[in-house]
Amino acid sequence: MQSEAVRGSTARPMSRGQSVRLVLILGALTAFGPLSIDMYLPAFPSLQAEFGVGAGAIQATLAVFFAGLASGQLLYGPLSDRYGRLPPLIGGIALFAIGSVAAALAPDTASLTVARLVQALGGCAGMVMARAIVADLFDERGAARTLSLLMLVMGLAPILAPLAGGQLLLLFGWRSIFWFLGGFALACLAAVALGLGETHPPDRRSEGGFRGTMRAYTRLLLNPRFAAFALAGALAMAELFAYITASPFVFIQLHGVSPQHFGYLFGLNAIGIIGASQVNVRLLRHFSAQSILAVATVANLVAALGLLAVVVSGAGGLAALMVPLFAVIASLGFIIANSVAAAMAQAIENRGIASALIGLFQFALAAAVSTTVAALQDASALPLAATITAAALGGFLFTRLARAAVRLAR
């Protein structure tokens, strides 16, 4: 891929082979977070037993990872705008590999916690750069199509990663999970070095510096078009994490679904978000990302209100619950990609910083919502339904605000 393919240039479009290679590499980069989160979840009991600690100490390793994943993006955004996408990306992947090896060799929970932080600070580079590279190469509609293809990773990771982690745990023990993640990082490092060219050439780079970085962050935060689109997408991500957090309780404990069958229900909703994201690719041939987003946020809010009504009434049991819940999760396949593309389109300069802010919004809100759902958990699905509905309402309102700001700016 040549740097002249940057959006706004007159370069010839990428061939099909180049497009496939790009999606595969960027998909791998976006997988750092989901794989690192979901693969080692089955190992929690083994970690507790080996280190002789309670569940809280092991859960802290996940909380630290989330914190590093969110905050680290603020560093990579400015670095990529100043030095290009490849140097920070390669450095971040290398740091992730080092953290993975340290986690595999960890002698206690304190060491594991530090290693997880190092992993997160490295792995978030791939997430920042993937969004920035897509914005470098495509206009808003093309970016939304590419991001929709990357949604396959988000949909498949919660299904495949725990299964893969469970098999590694069964065959080789929990440390093998982190050795696998280290090997995955090295494979990505080779793919980036050999198959991904620089998409942010020197003539487009910022001068950098602390003051310049702070000014760029401030400009974006005060840009109502960028901030509103970014927050709409972050609230959609919060809905997804609320569902991931609460679904084991709602399905298994509240409705008596067996742990074996829980995976089928979880997978059904994952298929919904995957399918919607791929339908989104086709819709983008005829409609703009912002138009699809406007309709999708309405559908998401209607489905969330339906979910809330079912939970409050208690009618229909699990079958009645699954219908609006499936609609809620599937609609996220239209919202997340289009909101990110629309937000990045408002940042003609400083796309790395824009990508970092989007990532911070997403993971900060996701972590806050997950914590809230867990804290409010009672003997019903009301905390899940109420949280999803509040986030859906926020996403609907922010999308309307963003589109109004876009019209005013014309």
Which span out of 71-85, 148-162, 175-189, 364-378 was modeled with the highest average pLDDT? 175-189
Phi, then psi, of 84 in degrees rounded to 5: 100, 170
Q: Is the dihedral of CA 153, 8, 339, 323 positive or negative?
A: negative
Residue 24 lies in a domain: yes
Concatenated DSSP letters of 116-163: HHHHHHHHHHHHHHHHHHHHHH--HHHHHHHHHHHHHHHHHHHHHHHH
401 and 256 together in one domain: yes
Can you give the pLDDT at residue 208?
67
Residues 331 and 402 in one domain: yes
30, 148: one domain: yes
Q: Which residue has the tokens 């099909």?
A: 16
Looking at the domain assignment, is residue 295 inside a domain?
yes
Based on the fold, state whether residues 110 and 4 are members of the same structural domain.
yes
Please, are residues 243 and 325 in contact by the beta-carbon 8 Å criterion?
A: yes
Whether pLDDT at 38 is above 90? no
Model confidence at 249, pLDDT cuts 50, 70, 90, reads confident
Same domain? 272 vs 180:
no
**Per-residue CA distances from 279 to 25, 49, 92, 194 (Å):** 22, 45, 33, 32
The pLDDT of residue 158 is 67
Cβ-based burial of 402 (10 A; exposed 0-12, middle 13-18, buried ≥19)? buried
The domain boundary, picked from 205, 231, 253, lies at 205
Q: What is the pLDDT of residues 155-184, one digit of tens each?
A: 677 677 877 888 898 899 999 999 999 999
Q: Specify whether 155 is located in the same domain as 111.
A: yes
- How far is CA 330 from each of CA 155, 167, 234, 303, 312, rounded to the nearest angstrom? 10, 28, 16, 10, 22
The CA distance from 59 to 63, in Å, is: 6
CATH number at residue 99: 1.20.1250.20
Question: Does 47 fall in a domain?
Answer: yes
CB 396 within 8 A of CB 297: yes
Exposure string for 385-400, b = 16+ CB within 10 A, e = fewer: bbbbbbbbbbbbbbbe
Residue 245's pLDDT is what?
77
Among 372, 374, 365, 344, residue whose Cα is nearest residue 70: 365
Query: Is residue 245 located within the same domain as residue 134?
Result: no
Convert the pLDDT of each residue in 41-56 to its tens digit: 788 888 888 999 887 7
Residue 156, token pair as written in the block: 């498949």
DSSP 8-state code for residue 42: G
Specify the higher pLDDT residue, 325 or 241: 325
Task: Retrieve residue 132's tokens.
Answer: 């920035």
210 assigned to some structural domain? no
Q: Answer for the pair 406, 290: CB distance below 8 angstroms, yes or no.
A: yes
Single out the residue in 149, 170, 205 at which a domain terminates: 205
CA 104 – CA 384 distance, rounded (Å): 35
Q: Is the dihedral angle over the CA atoms 265, 270, 271, 273 positive or is it negative?
A: positive
Residue 366, pLDDT score: 83
d(C-alpha 247, C-alpha 269), whole Å: 11
Please identify, among 179, 205, 231, the residue that sits at the C-terminal boundary of a domain.
205
| Residue 72 burial (C-beta neighbours within 10 Å; 0-12, 13-18, 19+) | buried
> How many domains are there within the chain?
2
Question: Is residue 24 located within the same domain as residue 122?
Answer: yes
36-39: list long-range contacts, CB under 8 Å, 24+ apart. 36/65, 36/119, 36/120, 36/123, 36/181, 37/62, 37/65, 37/66, 37/161, 38/157, 38/158, 38/161, 38/162, 38/165, 39/161, 39/162, 39/164, 39/165, 39/168, 39/177, 39/180, 39/181
Domain hosting 278: range is 223-410
Distance CA 400, CA 242 (A): 23
Residues 190 and 264 in one domain: no
Q: 299 near 331, Cβ under 8 Å?
A: yes
**Model confidence at 388: pLDDT above 90:** yes
| Cα-based distances in Å from 340 to 140, 291, 309 | 9, 14, 30
Burial 93-129 (b: 16+ CB within 10 A, else e): bebbbbbbbbbbebeebeebbbbbbbbbbbbbbbbbb
pLDDT in tens, 298-313: 999 999 999 999 999 9
- Other CB atoms closer than 10 Å to residue 75's CB: what's the count? 17
Same domain, 344 and 372: yes
Q: Is the pLDDT of residue 347 over 50?
A: yes
Establish if 213 belongs to a structural domain: no
Query: Could you tell me if 151 and 182 lie in one domain?
Result: yes
Q: Report pLDDT for 224.
A: 94
Single pTM value for the model = 0.84
**Amino acid in position 167:** Q
Based on the domain organization, do 348 and 388 belong to the same domain?
yes
Q: What is the mean pLDDT of residues 228-242?
A: 93
